[in-house]
Structure formats: C-alpha cells, structure tokens
Amino acid sequence: MDSQVTVHPRTTEQGSRSGTSEARRSESGGAALLHPQELESLLLNIDASLRVHSRHQLFGWTQGMLQSLIKHELLVCAVRGARPTAYQVDCFASPWIDPEKVGDVFRRDTAFVTHLATQWTESEFHPVVFAAGGAEPLSRGPFVAELQRLGTEGVLAHGTYDALGKPVSLFVLATMPGDFDREQAFLLELVAPFLHLAWMRSQLSGPLEESGTTAQSVDPLTAREKEILRWIHLGKSNFEIGTILGISPLTVKNHVQKILRKLNVQNRTHAVGRALELRILDV
C-alpha cells in the first residue's frame, strides 16, 4: 500500500471489471460484484450484528466473524459529542494490543479526527484508505505514530452521517501492511450501518467511557477448562479426555457444564465455536 490517502468510491480499476459488471453494480447495489463466499459472509455478518446488545457481544462479532470479511488488528469506534471536534471512543483489538492506550491516543489526537472527518466528508462519504507515515496530514500525528509502533500501518476508515451531512460516527480499522485491498473498502461501506447500530445498542448496557476491550477481558475460562475444550475440539469424549488428563470422566463432565454456562451455549460444538470466535481457544 502506498503512502497516499486514497478515497474509494464504488469504482474499480479499468480492466478488472467489465462495463457489464459496472452496470450490474449500479443495478444491484454492488452485490453482483461480490463472490458467492463474500456475499454469504456479508449476510452472516449482518445477521450476527443484529444479535449484538452488549460490549461482550460486540467484541465477539468484530474480533470473530467480522474478521472473515474485513481483516483487521484493531477497530476504533468514535461517535460525535456535543462539540464538533469532540468524539467519544471505544477500541476493540487483538490480544497483543492495548486498546485502552490506543483509544487514549486517538482521543488526544484531535487533529487526526478533524482531518479524517474532513477528508471523508469531502469525498462524499466514501471510505478513506491510507498508509501510516505518508506525506498527507492524515498519515502523520500521535495516533498514526502509535499505529506505526504497533506495525498496523494500513488504515481504512468509514462512518455514518446525519441528515445535515455531518459525521455522526467514524470507524477506523488498522491492519498489517497488505491486508487491505480495494474490495475491503466496499465491504466496509456495506457493513458500516450495521456496525454503527450494533455499537449503539452495546452502549445501552455500558458507558462509552469504559476502557477498551481485549480478548483477555472477555475470557471467562480457566486454564483447565480451555485445556478440556481443546480436546473437545479434537473430537475426544469425556472418557478419553479424562484418560489423557488423569481425571475422572465425571470431573470432565462437570468442567464441560461450567464451560457451557460461562460461554452461554447449549452444547459442546457451540462451545468450541464460541471460544474460537472470542479467540480464547488456541488450536
């Protein structure tokens, strides 16, 4: 990715899509240009977003299923406050990133937020993509410097706006260099309204000023429970797990019941899926 700030309207490189495809795009809202797997993933993500009603669930979605559609290492959500340059911020990130620190840097870097909102508005609300460290104003400053320190130098931003054309919320996704492509900007454009609504619902159960969320903060399982869950993932029965770990099948069963309660799922298969979604199960 080059260092220049790039606005991504709903167009593609000449030759990469035919004129017929471009016409189909205008007729179908872009869905015709998605591969079947992408379209399926998009629909699954929209469905998952409608089930988000808490910060825990928002983290599970954005750092789980949404990754299959738009890969990112951190997500900063910012909603406009009472003052034009004031934004309230949430940050969700991979386990190796401190989201609270990133969120604090974002809050303090008011120049970045101002430049981003201006760039996004002037581009007629199309996603903005840039690489940290470039010559453009968006590519410099404390927040971008923090992204460079983390190695997450590819940045994709989009948001929502009100009836007066003023930004309401902004979503900034950062990733390792090369993880974003042109299609990602279009996918974020499709997902952003659902991301906004899911984030707003999650705030009903907790204030925006809460610290950022990491995998560790939503990890309810003990080391033993995760060990048992790993063996379940490998298809082992309670008896087999007990033999491997040197404990009784009844003890394994008790651990499994605790796992199901903690993850709020009904069976072993769902428990594995939930743990993978939350990134608390190493496989």
What are the pLDDT tens digits along the chain (283 aa)? 444 455 555 443 333 433 433 333 333 344 557 888 889 999 999 999 999 988 888 998 998 899 989 999 999 999 887 666 667 889 999 888 988 899 999 988 988 988 899 999 999 999 998 887 776 767 778 999 999 999 988 899 999 999 888 899 999 999 887 777 778 899 999 999 999 999 999 887 554 434 444 444 445 788 899 999 999 988 899 999 999 999 999 999 999 988 988 887 778 888 888 787 777 776 5
Alpha carbon 242 to chain centroid, angstroms: 37
Domains delineated in the chain: 36-205 (3.30.450.80), 220-277 (1.10.10.10)
Q: How much is the pLDDT for 27?
A: 37
Torsion-angle region of 92 (φ positive above 0: left; ψ -120 to 50: alpha; else: beta): beta
User: Residue 244 has which token pair?
Assistant: 């491997």
- Name the phi and psi angles at 207, rounded to 5: -70, 155
Q: pLDDT of 252-274, one tens digit each?
A: 999 998 898 888 777 888 888 87
Burial of 117 (0-12, 13-18, 19+ CB in 10 A): buried
Q: What percent of the chain has pLDDT over 70?
A: 80
Q: pLDDT of 6-16, one tens digit each?
A: 555 544 333 34
Report yes or no: 129 and 123 within 8 Å, Cβ to Cβ: no
Say what the pTM is: 0.64
